[in-house]
């Protein structure tokens, strides 16, 4: 057998029954008495190399413990096969009847003796082999662990496994989220445990076994075992925060005062991991980070990956270099731990990343600070992240000189933080495989940062134009490929600064290959713009998105490129005619990344891209509209900033809407982008109050709007 050191002696069980993984397995299987194990031949555990290996006989006739499984072992005659093995979860099926299902911390190996279906040998180990009698066969199609809900180097202890079963999948999560106990599904998965995870799961299983599970007992269970969210992070004043920062280069008095007030918000949004999390991390869904960081605000109480870059632009405008460096160190810490940066520092975000902007972060920090020592230390993180995207998110199209990239997530269930929404979206699907495919594409849309948008929807089928038609993994996105192409260029420049010409040349080679690929795959000569590419239908998605213009900023344009052609496209489709700025799309879908909303990050990228190609007047026009929109609402809401805005309306209160949750206040990346733009255009900007405050009819339905315009 190729499973590592496995103990098979029945006499060994008492010696090793103290192992916490035994306790976890008992909880998983609903077994509470040691005698049950003894009566089923043998089960023994012995730790090795930081991991545990188990072998033993378990009866096949076990109740189904979990409905969300990935690997399915089907017994047929004297053989086993895995239709969709993933190395994370296991289901035993005999005669097409599911008899046992449970989440496992690593890959699965099963052994069934010929002619015997009463028992199966279960082995949990770091292996990708199935043992069938005396024969071994590799599972060639088994996906790497990092593609699954539990990434590499994570979930290899019973504590982390138990946390996954509480916060990421399993019957407890399903029961709470489906009960509608909390208005926002994210509320529950952010709640800290009062006990350790294994004890919580054991108490849960006891409640289930009692037959007394109802709404009241479920609520009492949650009150007994969970605390309210929010206490795992402490508000902290950054050590480099200067309360008297002046922004003297901003000529307009109104905007200069606004910049000062936005600057004062940094301490309100800066957090550090609390001491109680450091003391007992097993009780929290939060992933520990070593340095303070800025959160977006509202329901988003943790660090978010691509948000952080745009927040950093504002921090750099405030000269808060140490805070920015610390946030980059946090990102590097995550890369060291997982091989990539998750969507956010929560365990339920570990199956996906976000747009890979770590290279942008380090480059911007070096440009502002000149910190060459930190630059040298950080390059390994940039390389490792690109390797992750090459390994997990890339495809090779025939005749194309470079890998191309897509957002792609393999998952076995709904997103924990939006559980009910995902269950409802997939209600119309009966096929389990297709249901999981949809959930994966929904998670991939969240990985894109644009959750959600008609950009990811199909225009065909019964769910056309709706969330149920999400097909993110079938789309090659312009922005993701432009980002990675630009990352090669930035890394080439950084290696020159560090004196490593060999690595610089390699990065330039990759940049040039990808630049050509972007022209071949995404550029539409007739339309004069880049478009997403539909892999399944082998055609452009000829629809306006503000992400279509990312190659302008990242420098991934083709030889002979004329930016006037792209500007003409913007004018021709009417994207430039809105009073508040550039809309995310021109499709009215009810999703938050569609018309009439605009967002700070993509607005900033388009502005910078136009500036890079000499279109300074248009860049300023878009920036001026966006700044004015933000400031008008700031004044009329008593000094509040938001994550998105309705740019199609001149209404003074036109916040953005749509999506799965209420518009959020804070707001990290909005503040960051505004501060950066105010500093960039400080000498050009002016503000005069409107003679008449424009308020749409719906705003008159409540109390009279009182708005002070300076």
Contact (CB, 8 A) for 533 and 540: yes
The set of residues, in sequence order, having a beta carbon less than 8 Å from that of 519 and lying 6+ positions away, is: 557, 558
Reported as half-sphere exposure (CB side, CA atoms, 13 A), residue 253 has a value of 3
Question: To 5 degrees, how large is the angle CA 398–CA 402–CA 403?
Answer: 85
Query: Catalytic one among 451, 546, 594, 632?
Result: 451
CA angle 632–637–639, rounded 5-degree value: 85
665 has catalytic annotation: no
Q: Cα separation of 284 and 263, whole Å?
A: 31
User: For residue 252, what is the DSSP state?
Assistant: -
3-state secondary structure of 205: helix
Contacts (Cβ under 8 Å, ≥6 apart) of 319: 240, 242, 245
Length of the chain: 710
Query: Measured between alpha carbons, how far is 516 from 523 in angstroms, rounded to an integer?
Result: 10
Instruction: Round to whole Å and give the CA distance between 177 and 157.
Output: 26
Per the annotation, the verdict on 463 as an active-site residue is no
Any idea which residue has 């190996």 for tokens?
109
Tell me whether residue 379 is exposed, middle or buried, using C-beta atoms within 10 angstroms of its C-beta: 0 to 12, 13 to 18, 19 or more: middle
Copy the structure tokens of residue 204: 């849960």
**Considering just the CA atoms, what is the radius of gyration of the chain in Å?**
27
The catalytic position among 190, 329, 546, 643 is 643
Tokens of 108: 């699965």
Q: What is the dihedral of CA 195, 282, 353, 460, to 10 degrees?
A: -30
Name the 3-class secondary structure at 303: coil
- Greatest Cα pair distance in the chain: 88
- DSSP assignment, residue 297? B
Catalytic residues: 451, 643
């Amino acid at each position: 057998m190729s499973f590592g050191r496995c103990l098979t002696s029945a006499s060994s069980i008492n010696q090793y029954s103290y192992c916490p993984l035994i306790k976890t397995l008992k909880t998983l299987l609903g077994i509470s008495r040691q005698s049950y194990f003894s009566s089923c031949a043998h089960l023994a555990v012995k730790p090795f190399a930081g991991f545990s290996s188990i072998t033993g006989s378990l009866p096949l006739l076990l109740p189904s413990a979990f409905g969300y499984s990935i690997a399915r072992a089907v017994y047929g005659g004297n053989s086993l096969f895995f239709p969709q093995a993933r190395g994370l979860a296991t289901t035993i099926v005999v005669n097409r009847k599911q008899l046992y299902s449970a989440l496992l911390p690593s890959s699965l190996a099963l052994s069934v003796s010929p002619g015997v279906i009463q028992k199966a040998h279960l082995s949990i180990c770091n292996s990708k082999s199935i043992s069938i009698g005396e024969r071994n066969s590799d599972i060639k199609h088994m996906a790497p662990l990092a593609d699954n809900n539990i990434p590499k180097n994570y979930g290899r202890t019973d504590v982390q496994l138990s946390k996954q079963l509480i916060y990421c999948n399993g019957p407890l999560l399903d029961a709470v989220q489906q009960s509608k106990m909390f208005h926002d599904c994210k509320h529950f998965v952010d709640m800290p445990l009062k006990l350790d995870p294994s004890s919580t799961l054991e108490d849960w299983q006891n409640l289930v076994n009692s037959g007394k599970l109802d709404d009241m007992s479920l609520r009492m269970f949650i009150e007994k075992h969970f605390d309210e969210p929010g206490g795992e992070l402490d508000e902290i004043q950054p050590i480099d925060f200067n309360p008297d920062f002046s922004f003297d280069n901003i000529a307009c008095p109104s905007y200069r005062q606004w910049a000062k007030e936005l600057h004062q918000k940094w301490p309100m949004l800066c957090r550090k991991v609390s001491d109680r999390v450091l003391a007992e991390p097993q009780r929290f869904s939060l992933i520990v980070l070593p340095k303070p960081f800025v959160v977006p605000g509202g329901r988003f109480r943790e660090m978010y990956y691509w948000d952080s870059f745009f927040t950093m632009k504002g921090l750099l405008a405030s000269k808060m270099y140490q805070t920015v460096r610390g946030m980059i160190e946090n990102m590097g810490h995550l890369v060291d731990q997982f091989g990539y940066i998750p969507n956010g520092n929560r365990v339920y975000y570990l199956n996906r990343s976000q747009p890979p902007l770590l290279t942008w972060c380090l480059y911007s920090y070096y440009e502002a600070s000149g910190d060459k020592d930190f630059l040298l230390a950080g390059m390994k993180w940039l390389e490792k992240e690109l390797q992750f995207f090459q390994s997990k998110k890339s495809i090779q199209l025939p005749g194309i000189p470079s890998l191309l990239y897509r957002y792609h997530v393999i998952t076995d269930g709904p997103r924990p933080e939006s559980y009910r929404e995902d269950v409802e979206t997939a209600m119309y699907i009966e096929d389990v495989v297709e249901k999981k495919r949809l959930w994966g594409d929904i998670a991939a849309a969240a990985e894109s940062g644009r959750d959600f948008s008609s950009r990811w929807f199909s225009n065909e089928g019964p769910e056309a134009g709706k969330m149920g038609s999400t097909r993110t993994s079938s789309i090659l996105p312009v922005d993701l490929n432009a980002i990675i192409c630009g990352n090669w260029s930035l890394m080439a420049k950084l290696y020159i600064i560090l004196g490593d010409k060999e690595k610089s040349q390699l990065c330039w080679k990759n940049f040039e290959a990808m630049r050509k690929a972007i022209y071949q795959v995404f550029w539409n000569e007739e339309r004069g713009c880049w478009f997403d590419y539909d892999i399944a239908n082998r055609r452009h998605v000829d629809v306006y998105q503000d992400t279509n213009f990312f190659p302008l900023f990242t420098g991934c344009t083709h030889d002979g490129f004329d930016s006037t052609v792209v500007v003409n496209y913007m004018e021709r489709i009417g994207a430039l005619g809105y009073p508040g700025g550039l809309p995310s799309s021109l499709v009215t879908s009810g999703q938050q990344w569609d018309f009439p909303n605009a967002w700070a990050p993509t607005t900033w990228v388009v502005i910078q891209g136009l500036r890079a190609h000499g279109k300074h007047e248009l860049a300023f026009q878009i920036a001026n509209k966006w700044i004015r929109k933000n400031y008008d609402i700031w004044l009329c809401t008593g000094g509040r900033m938001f994550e998105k805005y309705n740019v199609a309306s001149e209404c003074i209160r036109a916040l953005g809407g749509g999506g799965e949750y209420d518009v959020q206040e804070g707001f990290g990346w909005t503040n960051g982008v505004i501060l950066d733009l105010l500093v960039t255009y400080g000498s050009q900007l002016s503000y005069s109050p409107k003679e008449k405050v424009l308020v749409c009819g719906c705003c008159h339905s409540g109390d009279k709007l009182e708005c002070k315009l300076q």
